[in-house]
Amino acid sequence: RAVIFSGIQPTGVPHLGNYLGAMQQWKRMQDEAAPDTKLIFSVVDLHAITVPRPRGLLSQWKREMFTALLAIGLDPDRCVLFYQSSVPAHSELQWILSCTASTGYLSRMTQWKSKMSLADDVTAFDDKVKRSLKHGLFSYPILQAADVLVHRATHVPVGDDQKQHLEFARECVTNFNSAYGGQHLVKPETIFSPAKRVMSLTKPSAKMSKSDADARSRILFTDSASAIRAKVMAAVTDSTNAVSYDAAARPGVANLLELLSHFDPAGRGAGELAASADLAGAPLKELKTRVADAVNAALAPIRDRFAELLARPDYLAGLVEQGAVRANQSAEETMKIVREAVELGA
């Protein structure tokens, strides 16, 4: 039986990268899954506390992200939707996995290394930097592995930046199963959407991200049609005012073409669109207008539903409670096996 699991941090309102790279795929998988496929999506609030954040906002951000899952069309009767912290088994399994996980592997993870901003030069690791780095950030991938493994996920749909974390989760399975002699945990497969790396509108060489200080670099679910248009029109391109596709030489234009391709009803790729009769050589403004229209058409119904749902706190609270019960049940099945394997069972 297939089990689809994925998670998203409660960073408030999701951006277009989250949507195209992950959430849209979750909805597609829900719609196409066999009836016996289990679908589980989590707002990973324990991951959110690995880095400093403004005080007083986390519960709002959680609510917004939970609402976003519903707004994109995930059906709470078909999917288990829950807050990670409402299922203590995630933390319990994290600890158990940490006892067979390799610190060497963890210290090679690119997210950790980039947070240390020292690439491969470990000798440059100065003491002040070290003190500011918290252990939770270091062991972040173990918690992520626990998220996936505790629900016996077989498929994990994510964007490209999660690739290494999922490889690590498979490594955790190998380590655990060999330490405790048996096929106790299941290795998950990573599933990428065609939009596995959506780029920033202002820095086309960087991925679109919540943490970019420049709000014009990303499009949010809550952006109005005019805000979307303004951001796309201001997107960084280059000085050649004619559409062509060259990802290396023209990353800004390529990014817009990629975006357009993700919304193309005919499923054409970026290069194909650039060569199409109505876009080849056209002024960049034409391309930008098409992108803004396509993004807005896709986001408008989500934006409306998002606002509607946020105005129904009691309905949301009920779903949060229902999700917690079901996710706890799902996790307990695995924890029985794990506790027995580790000899922690009663």
The distance between the two most distant Cα atoms of the chain, rounded to a whole number of Å, is 71
Under rule CB under 6 A, residue 338 binds ligand TYM: no
x/- map, 47-66, ligand TYM, by CB under 6 A:
x-------------------
Of 49-57, 204-212, 229-237, 329-337, the segment contacting ligand TYM by CB under 6 A is 204-212
Could you count the other beta carbons within 10 Å of the beta carbon of residue 294? 19
- Smallest distance from the beta carbon of 62 to ligand TYM, in angstroms? 12
Q: Under 8 Å CB-to-CB from 237, ≥6 apart: which residues?
A: 250, 252, 253, 256, 284
Under rule CB under 6 A, residue 22 binds ligand TYM: yes
- Smallest distance from the beta carbon of 159 to ligand TYM, in angstroms? 2
* Nearest residue to 193 (alpha-carbon basis) of 164, 155, 231: 155
Task: Report the DSSP beta bridge partners of residue 191.
Answer: 157
Pairing state of beta strands 155-158 and 38-43? unpaired
* Residue listed under structure tokens 């970026």: 270
Residues contacting ligand TYM: total by CB under 6 A: 26
Q: Which is nearer to ligand TYM, 37 or 209 (CB)?
A: 209
Under rule CB under 6 A, residue 79 binds ligand TYM: no
Of 97-105, 128-136, 206-214, 299-307, the segment contacting ligand TYM by CB under 6 A is 206-214
Of 14-22, 66-74, 230-238, 312-320, the segment contacting ligand TYM by CB under 6 A is 14-22
* Residue listed under structure tokens 């959506």: 198
Burial of residue 118, with CB atoms counted within 10 A of its CB: 0-12 exposed, 13-18 middle, 19 or more buried:
middle
Q: Which is nearer to ligand TYM, 22 or 71 (CB)?
A: 22
Q: Which active-site residues does the annotation give?
A: 115, 207, 210
Under rule CB under 6 A, residue 305 binds ligand TYM: no
Of 17-25, 232-240, 242-250, 253-261, the segment contacting ligand TYM by CB under 6 A is 17-25
x/- map, 167-196, ligand TYM, by CB under 6 A:
----------------------------xx
Q: How far is CA 46 from CA 42, 225, 233, in A?
A: 11, 33, 37
Under rule CB under 6 A, residue 25 binds ligand TYM: no
Question: From CA 316, how far away is CA 155, in angstroms rounded?
Answer: 27
Question: From CA 92, how far away is CA 113, in angstroms rounded?
Answer: 26
Q: Which is nearer to ligand TYM, 279 or 331 (CB)?
A: 331
Q: Are 327 and 82 in contact (CB under 8 A)?
A: yes
Question: Using the rule CB under 6 A, which residue among 173, 201, 208, 220 binds ligand TYM?
Answer: 208
Question: From CA 212, how far away is CA 163, in angstroms rounded?
Answer: 21
Q: Under 8 Å CB-to-CB from 308, ≥6 apart: which residues?
A: none
Q: State which of positions 132-171 bind ligand TYM (CB under 6 A).
A: 144, 147-148, 156, 158-159, 161-162, 165
The contact set with ligand TYM (CB under 6 A) reads: 6-9, 17-18, 21-22, 44, 47, 144, 147-148, 156, 158-159, 161-162, 165, 195-198, 207-209
